[in-house]
A = this chain, B = another copy of it.
Amino acid sequence: MNEFDLIEKVRERARASGDSSGLVCGIGDDAAVFKSATGANLVISTDLLVEDIDFRHNSTLPNLLGHKALAVSLSDIAAMGARPRWAMLSLGLQQEVWDSHFADRFYDGFFKLADAYGVKLIGGDVSRTPDKTVIDSIVIGECLPGRAVLRSGAKPGDQIYVTGFLGDAAAGLRLLERGARLHEEAAKETRESSPNDQPSERHPLDHLLLRQLKPEPRVGWGMLLGDKQLATAMIDLSDGLSSDLNHLCSESKVGALIDAARIPIDPLVRDVCGRRALDPLMLALHGGEDFELLFTVNPGNIAKLPTRVDGISVTRIGEITEASSGARISEGSRTWNLEPGGWEHFKG
C-alpha cells in the first residue's frame, strides 16, 4: 500500500462519516472546500514537511525553509483558484535546533512570503521532537461561491496548460544531492531582497537550487483562473507532471495526450542534464516540487488567457481525451502511456 492507496481508503471512510452538509470538496483535491453558515466558500490545505524526507538542514537555510513551508500550501490554494487569506504553522523542533537561531530565521522567510500576498498568520503549535524537525503548514483561502477550480472538471477537447518551466526543482535536487550549495551572495539575497525586487543576475546553478529550495507559488495565476472561470480543472505540480496529470485525469474521468516537444524546459536544465548524463524530459515528466500549475481550458476560452501573470507565462502542452485512452505522451512519431513516476512516500 502506498500513500495514494491509504488516502483513497481514508477518503472512502470520510465519505460515509460525519456531516456532509456544506461540504463542496473533501479529500482528493489540492485543498478542501467548504461552505460556512453564511455561504462563504473557504478553501483549506495542510502540508507536512519532515526533516531528512522533505528537506535536510545541511542543504537548505532556515529562512528558505520558512518560505517553502508556506509556499507549498499557498500553491495548493492557488490550484483551487482561490485567494489565500490565513495561515497556521505547527513546528516541532529538536532541542539543538531550538537552541540555535533557527526559529527566528525560519519565521523571517515565512513572514516575507506571507506579507507578499497579505496572508495573516493566525495560529499554530510549537512542540519538542526527539531528533527531527517537523513542520505542518496550513493555509486558508476564500473564493466566490462555486468558483473553486477542482481536479474533476476537465472535459475531452479541453487544452492542457502549465505555468513556467518543468524539471527545474528536480534538477536542483540532483545538484544538492551531489553536494552543490547556494553561493553566499544568493543566500544573502534571499534574506535581504523584498519579494517584488527583480532578482539580480544569478549564477545559473543558484537559479536551479533556488527553484528547489525556494519555490514561488503561482498565486496570481491561480486567482485569475478562478475569478475569471477560465480553468475547467487544475492541480499543482508537487508530485511531478506524470503523477499529477494522472490524478487530474482520474478525478475528471478523462484521458490526456501530452506533446513532449511542447513541455517547457529551461535551457539551464538542458545544459545541467547534458553535463551530467541526465534526461531533461524525465526530470520534467517525473520530477516533483516545481509547484507550477497544470490546468485545462475549454477551447472557447483560450483567447481570454493573458500572456503573463506576475511575469510568468503559460504553455499549452496537450489536450484532454476520452477516459478510455488514458494519459499518454507523444514524442515525434512515438506515443506511450504516461505512467505516474513522481514521488511516492511509501512503496507497497
Interface, chain A (partner B; CB < 8 A): 1, 3, 6-7, 9-10, 13-14, 17-20, 22-23, 26-27, 31-32, 34, 36-40, 42, 44-54, 85-88, 90-92, 95, 98, 103-104, 107, 111, 114-115, 118-132, 134, 136, 138, 140, 142, 345-346
Contacts and interface: CB of A to CB of B under 8 A. Distances in A.
A181 to B, nearest CB: 22
A48 B123 contact: no
Contact of A129 (B3, B7, B18, B50): B50
A295 B119 CA distance: 32
A18 to B, nearest CB: 3
Contacts of A23: 120, 122
Contact of A136 (B19, B40, B90, B115): B90
Given A3-B126, A44-B86, 14 more contacts: A1-B98, A10-B121, A18-B118, A19-B118, A31-B123, A32-B122, A36-B142, A37-B142, A49-B127, A50-B128, A50-B130, A53-B130, A54-B127, A88-B138
A291 B156 CA distance: 53
A67 to B, nearest CB: 14
A123 B34 CA distance: 11
A332 to B, nearest CB: 38
Contacts of A45: 123
Nearest to A49: B127
B27 A123 contact: yes
B345 A138 contact: no
B14 A126 contact: no
14 contacts: A6-B126, A19-B85, A19-B119, A19-B120, A36-B38, A36-B42, A44-B123, A44-B138, A48-B90, A48-B125, A50-B128, A53-B127, A53-B129, A131-B132
A277 to B, nearest CB: 29
A148 to B, nearest CB: 13
- Copies of this chain, complex-wide, total 2
A45 to B, nearest CB: 7
A299 to B, nearest CB: 32
A340 to B, nearest CB: 16
A118 B23 CA distance: 13
B92 A14 contact: no
Contacts of A1: 98
Contacts of A40: 36-40
A111 B17 contact: yes
Contact of A98 (B51, B124, B346): B346
A27 B107 CA distance: 14
A46 B138 contact: yes
Contacts of A54: 127
A47 B90 CA distance: 7
Nearest to A26: B122
A32 B87 CA distance: 10
Contacts of A7: 126
A110 B30 CA distance: 22
Given A26-B121, A136-B90, A42 B39 contact: no
A121 B6 contact: no
A130 B132 CA distance: 8
A345 B126 contact: yes
Contacts of A14: 111, 120-122
A346 B129 CA distance: 10
